[in-house]
């Protein structure tokens, strides 16, 4: 993304479709977003690449190659008919194009998004009978891990009514990646006229670590290294920490472009513990219809490590997730205090 501030308005929304009956809610959500953002829709369906056994000199040695090709042609013909039917069902005031590609789904979506200079990719995740992600890491997560533009993920079959003013939860790690997610959240909150925007930071200190820190501070007080405070306790320490973090969140928000228009809808939320668990709790507490966070929640490029992914929150019915790609520090500088 060339600009440090993401703006999806009037840019194409690429929608990944598996062409099953459960996707109507995804299509409905895409249509509402298209209207609110004044954006065209690009509907994409990818059929699995042919799997061929290859020999020396790239000679096809799969005895069922012809059979596979015939089945593939039938699948493509059925997919074209399904895409045409979906396109005809979309209201005429929305511009829509369809794309049928023979490729892996995440690659097909990335290709179309690049070709049309899209502002967002919209796709779904599916839950199994136990409420867990179906089939492990889905196309949506695979795409979000490498896409150059934000990816919005909607639980399949979930009714998310973007016509209503949504409540948004935006996670901020108080670093450059978090600021990038915050800026994207503010832009989308303005576009969707959000009823509430909750700005959350989760400090990974657990209760045990807090207790150890308090004991060390008390020891320093007893040794006279710092002024004694008889009221100092775990509660005092966590309260002071929350106050300081809330001040940092407020500063970051109010120094972001467009924030002045959201002052009455904005508030902070500070928590301690596991980020994935706390984000899930906060989403329930604030009755959020949307959660926004940076790609670092999925994967830390600098440390080549998996992030703290809030799966439970992301597959809740009625909750969409926007995953924002990180920028290099050279592209995004932190605001200077005056």
Domain boundaries, the chain: 1-157, 164-338
**Both tokens assigned to 219:** 């020891």
Q: Where are the alpha helices (DSSP H) in the chain?
A: 24-37, 65-89, 105-115, 139-144, 176-191, 207-222, 234-254, 275-285, 311-314
Q: Determine phi and psi for 279, rounding to 5 degrees.
A: -65, -40
Q: Cα separation of 199 and 246, whole Å?
A: 9
* Contact between 255 and 335 (Cβ < 8 Å): yes
Which residues, 6 or more positions from 215, have their beta carbon under 8 angstroms from its beta carbon?
Answer: none
Q: What pLDDT is attached to residue 305? A: 45
**Both tokens assigned to 284:** 């329930």
Q: What pLDDT is attached to residue 33? A: 95
Q: Cα separation of 33 and 191, whole Å?
A: 9
Q: Cα separation of 282 and 285, whole Å?
A: 5
Q: Mind listing the pLDDT tens digit for each residue in 242-272?
A: 999 999 999 999 999 999 999 999 999 999 8
Q: Residue 1's pLDDT band (boundaries 50, 70, 90)?
A: very low
Q: Cα separation of 281 and 271, whole Å?
A: 10
Q: Mind listing the pLDDT tens digit for each residue in 123-181?
A: 988 766 655 555 445 788 888 888 899 999 998 877 788 888 999 999 999 988 899 99
Identical fold, 1-157 and 164-338: yes
Q: What pLDDT is attached to residue 44? A: 96
Q: Cα separation of 309 and 323, whole Å?
A: 11
Q: What pLDDT is attached to residue 128? A: 63
**Distances, alpha carbon 278 to alpha carbons 157, 212, 271, 285, 299, in Å:** 25, 21, 7, 10, 18
Q: What pLDDT is attached to residue 330? A: 44
* Contact between 330 and 299 (Cβ < 8 Å): no
Q: What pLDDT is attached to residue 125? A: 84
Instruction: Give me the mean pLDDT over the 219-247 stretch.
Output: 84
What's domain 164-338's architecture? 3-Layer(aba) Sandwich (3.40)
Q: What pLDDT is attached to residue 95? A: 97
| 1-157: CATH number | 3.40.50.620
Q: Cα separation of 323 and 169, whole Å?
A: 12
Q: Cα separation of 335 and 338, whole Å?
A: 9
3-state secondary structure of 13: strand
3-state secondary structure of 120: strand
Q: What pLDDT is attached to residue 336? A: 43
Residue 41 predicted with pLDDT over 60: yes
Residue 8 predicted with pLDDT over 60: yes
């Amino acid at each position: 993304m060339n600009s440090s501030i993401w703006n999806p308005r009037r840019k194409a929304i690429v929608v990944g479709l598996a062409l099953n009956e459960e996707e109507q809610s995804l299509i409905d959500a895409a249509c509402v977003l298209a209207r609110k953002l004044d954006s065209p829709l690009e509907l994409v369906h990818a059929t699995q690449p042919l799997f061929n056994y290859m020999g020396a000199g790239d000679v096809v040695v799969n005895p069922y190659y012809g059979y596979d090709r015939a089945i593939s042609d039938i699948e493509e013909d059925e997919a074209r008919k399904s895409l045409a039917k979906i396109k005809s069902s979309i209201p005429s005031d929305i511009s829509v194009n369809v794309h049928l590609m023979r490729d892996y789904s995440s690659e097909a979506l990335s290709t179309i998004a690049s070709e049309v200079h899209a502002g967002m990719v919209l796709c779904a995740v599916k839950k199994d009978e136990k409420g867990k992600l179906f089939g492990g890491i889905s196309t949506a997560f695979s795409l979000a891990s490498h896409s150059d533009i934000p990816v919005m993920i909607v639980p399949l079959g979930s009714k998310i009514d973007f016509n209503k003013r949504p409540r948004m939860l935006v996670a901020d790690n108080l670093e450059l990646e978090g600021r990038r997610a915050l800026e994207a959240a503010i832009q989308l909150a303005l576009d969707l006229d959000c009823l509430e925007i909750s700005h959350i930071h989760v400090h990974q200190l657990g209760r045990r670590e807090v207790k150890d820190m308090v004991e060390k501070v008390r020891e320093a007080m007893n040794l006279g290294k710092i002024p004694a405070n008889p009221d100092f306790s775990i509660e005092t320490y966590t309260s002071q920490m929350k106050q300081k973090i809330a001040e940092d969140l407020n500063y970051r928000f109010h120094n972001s472009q467009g924030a002045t228009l959201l002052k009455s809808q904005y508030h902070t939320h500070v928590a301690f513990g596991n980020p994935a668990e706390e984000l899930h709790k906060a989403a329930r507490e604030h009755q959020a219809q949307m959660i926004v966070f940076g790609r670092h929640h999925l994967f830390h490029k600098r440390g080549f490590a998996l992030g703290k992914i809030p799966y439970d929150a992301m597959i809740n019915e009625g909750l969409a997730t926007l995953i924002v790609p990180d920028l290099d520090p050279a592209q995004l500088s932190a605001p200077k205090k005056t």
